[in-house]
Amino acid sequence: MLTGYPKKVRLQSGTSVTIRPMVKEDADKLYAFFSRVPREDRLFLRDDVSIRDVIDSWTQELDYGKVLPLVAEVGGNIVGDATLHRRTFGWTSHVGKVRLVIDKDYRGKGLGMVLIEELIHIARKAGLEQLVAELMSDQTGALSAFKRLGFEKEAVFFNYVKDQVGEARNLVVMIKNLRIEPAMVLF
Ligand SMILES: CC(C)(COP(=O)(O)OP(=O)(O)OC[C@H]1O[C@@H](n2cnc3c(N)ncnc32)[C@H](O)[C@@H]1OP(=O)(O)O)[C@@H](O)C(=O)NCCC(=O)NCCS
């Protein structure tokens, strides 16, 4: 499933980026990456990434079968983090959840698209049929980006989640279908 990594890609700007699965030695780089995420974005992330223990738990408890984190690296710095979360049993075993964060200086350059395409490729190889992204309705830029990345808004749960300062927000569930429909094969 992870053959072909590390992989070098070139963004339209000409920047060369290395894409690879996260390893436990990434803890410092990952903490530095999340420390650079603007406060207004951190507010909406699922976990409090300003806490070092949170980052350490991700890098020390790696189990690619459950959570596959891909990092994008430029000049030794992590500039993007995309994760594919899955359960291998039960009624959502065909569904993967994705989370994606790009360094502010590297946004709008196609890197989010590159990482999502990598996760789609891996998810298809793992037999997953749908990808789900969960966002808050206030994340208007990210909602537009995920739409451009092929995700459709499927449901809104009003005041269902709380941001990092405890304020209730609407949860938006977006889904991308990975199944290849027969019509797609014909045309
Ligand atoms: C959302 C996010 C991951 C997008 O990453 P990115 O690298 O900037 O995305 P890309 O450059 O690959 O753009 C992908 C598409 O989305 C569009 N897009 C990106 N940011 C956008 C924005 N703020 N508003 C509208 N459209 C946007 C791009 O134009 C592009 O569409 P195109 O191919 O038609 O040109 C990034 O903004 C981010 O890290 N946000 C903070 C974290 C977050 O909110 N994550 C989502 C929760 S999982």
Which residue, judged by its Cα, is nearest atom 4 of ligand 1? Answer: 112
Q: Where are the domains of the chain?
A: 7-186
**CB of 78 within 8 A of CB of 29?**
yes
Convert the pLDDT of each residue in 119-172 to its tens digit.
Answer: 999 999 999 999 999 999 999 999 999 999 999 999 999 999 999 999 999 999
Read off the pLDDT band of 186 (50, 70, 90): low
Which DSSP letter does residue 88 get? S
Distance CA 156, CA 135 (A): 10
**CB of 163 within 8 A of CB of 122?**
no
Ligand 1 binding site (Cβ under 6 Å of any ligand atom)? 41, 44, 99-102, 107-113, 133, 135, 139, 141-142, 144-145, 148-149
How do 67-74 and 77-86 pair as beta strands? antiparallel
Tell how far CA 57 is from the center of its chain: 17
CA of 146 to the centre of ligand 1 (A): 7
CA of 160 to the centre of ligand 1 (A): 24
Convert the pLDDT of each residue in 79-117 to its tens digit.
Answer: 999 999 999 999 999 999 999 999 999 999 999 999 999
User: Domain 7-186, what architecture?
Assistant: 3-Layer(aba) Sandwich (3.40)
Tell which wins on pLDDT, 1 or 93: 93
Instruction: Calculate mean pLDDT across residues 38-57.
Output: 95
Share of the chain above pLDDT 70, in %: 96
CA of 113 to the centre of ligand 1 (A): 8
Distance CA 119, CA 53 (A): 26
Q: Which strands form 67-74's sheet, in the order they lie side by side?
A: 7-10, 16-21, 67-74, 77-86, 95-102, 130-136, 168-177, 152-162
Read off the pLDDT band of 179 (50, 70, 90): confident
Distance CA 149, CA 143 (A): 10
Distance CA 19, CA 110 (A): 13
Whether the predicted pLDDT of 182 surpasses 70: no
Distance CA 139, CA 116 (A): 18
